[in-house]
Amino acid sequence: MYDHSSQMKWVSGFLMFLVLTSCKQERQSESTLIWSDEFDGTTLNESNWNYKLGDGCPDLCGWGNNEPQIYTKENTEVSDGTLKIHAQLKDSIYTSSRITTKGKFDFQYGYIESRIKLPKGKGLWPAFWMLGKNIDQVGWPRCGEVDIMEWVGRDADSLFTSLHTKASSGNTVNTKKTFLEDNSAWHTYACDWNEERIIFYRDNEEVYRFAPQEKTEENYPFKQPFYILLNMAVGGNFGGEINNSIFPQTYEVDYVRVYESNPLEKEN
């Protein structure tokens, strides 16, 4: 005897799937992509990015962290759909690359995400981060700093997301250290930011939330536009002791995307 109830359950389930899928697509379409770099060319798109060159001198020797590397254009490569920042050691000189969107793109509030593959080795310090647009007027840390992803080779199984503010005298106080199971794989790192809170994600899972009850210019300098930075430092205060046998190493970035709001539509 044919079981009509089973057929009805299947049809009902399928219709529910279509409804949920349609709702999900509608919600995702509400989140507008406002800026991105997919790194699909053969050179860095200098309409999007600037090179930050040298050793930081004379204004910020060692980039403020006693870092020995010199940043060059030559250590940046765009090929096969990704950005590659190479750290090298030649003739006792460390070189790497640092790029920023300062003066070319900044935004106030939204969801920023990058897909990243980390290098390997003690002494490396790749980062995906943001600085306040007003840094030249008010200085650091009053401008605010948002470290969406920082990794150091001396602590290879850990990942850091942090905020730096005037209230903390620039020190890493508002921070979260999380376990990174496979640092040789591709991972996504993201930040969802508005006037009330900043939420950090890794692989679409929330890892840290900063939402002070009382917000001032000193503890929440994030009510203004910020620009994006990608770099790989070598050594320094946070990078630590350098293992010279690891070079060359590559920090690889598949894309950087900025949306008006969180496309994951998580309940925040």
**What DSSP assignment string belongs to 48-99?**
T-EE--BS-TTTSGGGGTT---EE-STTEEEETTEEEEEEEEETTEEEE-EE
Please state the domain extents for the chain: 1-30, 33-259
Q: Which helix (H) or strand (E) holds 232?
A: strand 226-234
* Confidence at 1, pLDDT banded by 50, 70, 90: very low
Cα 142 → chain centroid: 20
Residue 175: name the closest of 186, 189, 165 by CA.
165
Catalytic residue among 38, 150, 217, 265: 150
Average pLDDT, the chain: 90
- What is the structure's pLDDT at 24? 38
Find out whether the peptide bond into 212 is cis, omega within 30 degrees of 0. no
Q: Tens digit of pLDDT for each residue in 156-194? A: 999 999 999 999 875 666 889 999 988 899 999 999 999
Query: Is pLDDT at 5 greater than 60 in this prediction?
Result: no
Q: Based on the residue annotation, tell me whether 218 is a catalytic residue of this protein.
A: no
Q: Based on the residue annotation, tell me whether 145 is a catalytic residue of this protein.
A: yes
The CATH code that applies to domain 33-259 is 2.60.120.200
Q: How many CB atoms lie within 10 A of CB 154?
A: 17
Residue 263: name the closest of 17, 14, 36, 16 by CA.
36
Question: pTM (2 decimals)?
Answer: 0.87
% of the chain surpassing 70 pLDDT: 85
Catalytic residue among 38, 145, 206, 252: 145
* Confidence at 17, pLDDT banded by 50, 70, 90: very low
Phi-psi sector, 72: left (phi>0), alpha (psi -120 to 50), beta: beta
- What is the structure's pLDDT at 174? 81
Q: Mapping DSSP to helix (H, G, I), strand (E, B) and coil, where does residue 104 land?
A: coil
Residue 87: name the closest of 252, 233, 253 by CA.
233
